[in-house]
Amino acid sequence: MTSLIMILSLEQLEKFNISGPRYTSYPTAPNWVDTFTEQDYRRTLQAFDCHRDRLSLYVHIPFCPKMCYYCGCNVLIRKPSDEVGDRYIDYLDKEMKLVTSEWSTPATVNQLHWGGGTPTYLSAPQLARLFSLIQSRFQIASGAECAIEVDPRTLRLEQVKTLADIGFNRISMGIQDTNSMVQAAINRVQPTDMVQTCVEWVRKHHLSLNFDLIYGLPHQTPATIADTIQDIIKMAPDRIALYSYAHVPWLKSHQSLLNPDHIPVGRDKLALFITAREHLLAHGYQAIGMDHFAKASDGLALAYREGVLHRNFMGYTLKPADDSVGFGLTAIGQFRNAFTQNVKTMGQYIALLDEGRLPIERGLNLTPDDLRRQWAIQSIMCHFKLDFMAYHHQFGSTIDALPGVMSHLRTCEKDGLITLNEYGLKVTELGQFFVRIVAMGFDAYLGHQTGFSKTI
């Protein structure tokens, strides 16, 4: 597919390189409202049936010892401190107590994910304590996927051992790039031998391993990213997420520390992704959705082949539960009929919990129209297709009842992004690189949103 870069005209690149959502949710987060109240959240929780339904849990640990200049996450820069970690865990427990007070029996958890920030900012004893508190308020299902994001610069063998002992089975390691010039530019220096040592610890304790990589960073070229992929392949992670760098300094001011003259864009950025993709495919990884890769034997690859892949705020994932509760600063919850998000400042988070209130800042109750469009967007983003008959069976209506959708799809067909007939659509090989554009035609809110990253 390297030839794709050459066959796309500058006019096509300009047409396709537009701002748009990544559709880790629909409706997307900018459309959630602060009129979604604590009472709305409580009603959402009360609608959950602990006797029948299963949960995913997300716990946000916001602390990092230093800022990575590319970062788009919600983080707080703090020097390593047991006191900071202990206090935060105390308040996470307060929040869990308030949430679970809405249920008469402990909910069963099929998936647990700790993200950040840097969850391994917490010491090994703190990691064990937090997991124990979760176990005291929830029933962790046998075989549940328990995953945690780690930073090789702060990871310690004692933490890996503790994570394995308490029940974690997947490690997601932030790598981004192995080139020293790129690492220096983004303020994230982690020599490859450091990463290799962490990998050996993870393998020794029989944990599955994910790597997160980013393309579009300063000083990256097809040659350097090919070298990075070769470094990664030697360490043989089970899954790889290859994310597009979103340069949004108007939202993340620290990104202005990156020299824009060194950031690849357009054709140059697309070449990075295609180069990395080709190397991964050549070494036995299967492409999953628009930016994930997995060994053929991995559960994510199996889910993709079986058509049961899901997309959420963690990227592409399995969907062992229809509802997800988020705990911690800025944490997001995703329910069948609502989204929720916690407050963004530590002062607010602590004050609300001290008052015995859920620290909710905003959310959204989904309408029937939202759910129809969400279903279609999920199908396109996860499976590169949309079955019109399945849509009709699910909702009792037709796609052409959604205003403007068929016109958009005909344009996508003309541009070579999809094939279209009376039974549905399939995203072409070209369209897979620009699948966000196909999905955007189903977004009823798009004209009211700004600030998204470019599709390339």
pLDDT of residue 151 exceeding 90, the answer is: yes
The pTM of this model reads: 0.94
pLDDT in the model for residue 41:
98
- Tens of pLDDT, residues 332-382: 999 999 999 999 999 999 999 999 999 999 999 999 999 999 999 999 999
Q: What's the pLDDT at 1? A: 47
Given a cut of 70, whether residue 90 has pLDDT beyond it is yes
pLDDT digits (tens, 9 = 90+) for 388-414: 999 999 999 999 999 999 999 999 999
Average pLDDT over residues 297-325: 89
Domain with CATH 1.10.10.920 in the chain: 368-456
Q: Are 61 and 117 in contact (CB under 8 A)?
A: yes
User: What are 98-150's pLDDT values in tens digits?
Assistant: 999 999 999 999 999 999 999 999 999 999 999 999 999 999 999 999 999 99
Q: In whole angstroms, give the CA distance from residue 111 to residue 114.
A: 10
d(CA 239, CA 288): 10
Closest CA to 259 of 175, 186, 190, 188: 186
Q: How many CB atoms lie within 10 A of CB 247?
A: 21
| 85, 253, 329, 385 from 351: Cα distances, Å | 17, 27, 12, 46
d(CA 94, CA 101): 11
The pLDDT score that the predictor gives to residue 449 is: 62
> How far is it, in rounded angstroms, from Cα 331 to Cα 333?
7
- Distance of alpha carbon 210 from alpha carbon 293, whole angstroms: 10
What's the CATH fold of domain 368-456?
Arc Repressor Mutant, subunit A (1.10.10)
Which CATH architecture does the domain made up of 32-327 adopt?
Alpha-Beta Horseshoe (3.80)
Alpha-carbon distance of 65 to 253, in angstroms, equals 18
Query: Rg of the chain over CA atoms, in angstroms?
Result: 22
* Mean pLDDT, rounded, for 32-51: 95
- Comparing 133 with 251, the larger pLDDT belongs to 133
In the chain, list all ranges with CATH 3.80.30.20: 32-327
